[in-house]
A = this chain, B = another copy of it.
Amino acid sequence: MTLISDAQLVTMNERREVLHADLRIENGKIVEIGHGLVPRGDEKRVSAKGCFVIPGLIQAHTHLCQTLFRGLADDLELLDWLQKKIWPLEKAHTEESLRASAQIGLMEMQCLGTTAILDMGTVALHHVVFEEAERSGMRYWGGNCLMDIKATSGPLYRERVESLNYCAQLIREWHLKTPLLQYAVSPRFSISCSDKLMRGALKLQQEHGLLMHTHASENKKEVAAIKKRTGLNNVQYLQNLGLLTDRAVIAHGIHLTPSEIKAIVTRQTGVTHCPSSNLKLASGVAPITRYLEQGMKVALGSDGAACNNNMDPFLEMRLAALLQKQLFGPTALPAIQAFELATLGGARVLNCADQVGSLVVGKRADVVIVRRNHPSVATVDDPYSALVYSSSGRDVSDVWIDGRHVVENGAHAIYDAAAVTAFARRELAGLLGRLSSGRNLSGCSAPKLKNQSS
């Protein structure tokens, strides 16, 4: 049992109340919110005096397998970035380097206030990521990615039946092994996936009631390649395959036609907006103001560390708000709406808004304390303005996930930060050594995407 006292609770409840109150956690749930709650004898007490207490932040698109690649693949466009850097790097993973990548990524995201993620793995070894997700205490959805078109999967090509069998094995071993771990079926993107693979993925998803997670319409060349192969727009193609459901999550969704937008909204498919990644890979800016107006479920995500290069959810909230003003004028996506995307928006996209996304009695206890004593924040009374425009993930002091205290007073409570960092640096050096040309990644090579335009 834990009592967080003296908090300014930014509840995100139905009335969007901001309360000066205490919050009690018991058996992983929020059991009481009120003024002057009386501490109990055996209860852990944490003062949040002068701090914001917020719902845990949700990032509905990331790649833990890429955390080690941070800073190794800057200044490239999506398809070059994948072929020349990311795929060869993913291919070079061993169990240990993948473990290091997942550990430091999970530690980073939790320390910065993230309590739930939707993760796409590489094509193999994904049990390692589940092991670390379990150890870290993260609320985790994820799975190995699927890629079965030889010409467009580079070194990550995997035969379809073998791939789907691997999914089935991971589902058996990991899906709901604990209440925090859920498997997500993850065809990488339409460019690398055959129709048959997509149908096999869909079958698995339906059989087990899973989330479906894929990239779509991130990049104009990607859209053109799908159009060339299938005659259809990217999301239209997914729709024809039956993939657009209320349990599917599309990462990016930048270049959508009006009818694709309508299809996504009608089927209540989720879209994860990743503004830093989209700028860095020069992909475009998703017009999420329009999407939200039409009733789309929209979440935020940092994407992987190799294309961002920062997994701070506060950066994504801020950038999401700023970029929409550029597209739709200065009143677009005010701070409260950006904050909603990172909390309830994420919960809706992951179909768990009945469980998390707001500080409400009865919900699971995903709770974050954010200090507000930095001079950048200290004079701002509006909590949404303070959190979205002026705060940093570096201001997070404490994080609970499902009632478990995973970050305590700025330090990770489960991982030893120095050991995790040293392990990551060692495994990164080993991984780079495994690539034939050593540290010089310009030597990496992978087959050209056949369908890549220009």
Of the listed stretches A186-194, A323-331, A344-352, chain B binds A323-331
Q: Chain B residues with Cβ under 8 A from A382's Cβ?
A: 71, 74
Q: Chain B residues with Cβ under 8 A from A326's Cβ?
A: 279, 282, 284-285
Of the listed stretches A11-19, A37-45, A256-264, A372-380, chain B binds A372-380
- A380 contacts B71, CB within 8 Å? yes
Of the listed stretches A85-93, A265-273, A416-424, chain B binds A416-424
Q: Chain B residues with Cβ under 8 A from A421's Cβ?
A: 373, 375, 378-379
Of the listed stretches A170-178, A240-248, A307-315, chain B binds A307-315
**Chain A, 280-318, CB within 8 A of any chain B CB:** 280-282, 284-285, 305, 308-312, 318
Q: Per a CB cutoff under 8 Å, which of B108, B282, B380, B395 touches A70?
A: B380
Shortest Cβ gap from A34 to chain B (Å)? 27
CA distance A91 to B105 in the complex (A): 48
- A322 contacts B280, CB within 8 Å? yes
A30 within 8 A of B: no
> Given known contacts A376-B311, A379-B424, is B282 in contact with A71 (CB within 8 Å)?
no
Residues of chain A touching chain B, judged by Cβ–Cβ distance below 8 Å, are 67-68, 70-71, 74-77, 80-81, 104-105, 107-108, 111-112, 276, 279-282, 284-285, 305, 308-312, 318-319, 322-323, 325-326, 329-332, 334-335, 373-376, 378-382, 385-386, 389-390, 392-395, 417, 420-421, 424-425, 428
- A-B contact sample (20 more), CB < 8 A, given A375-B421, A379-B424: A70-B390, A71-B385, A75-B331, A104-B379, A108-B376, A276-B322, A279-B325, A280-B325, A282-B325, A309-B385, A309-B389, A309-B390, A310-B376, A312-B392, A373-B421, A374-B394, A375-B417, A378-B425, A379-B421, A379-B425
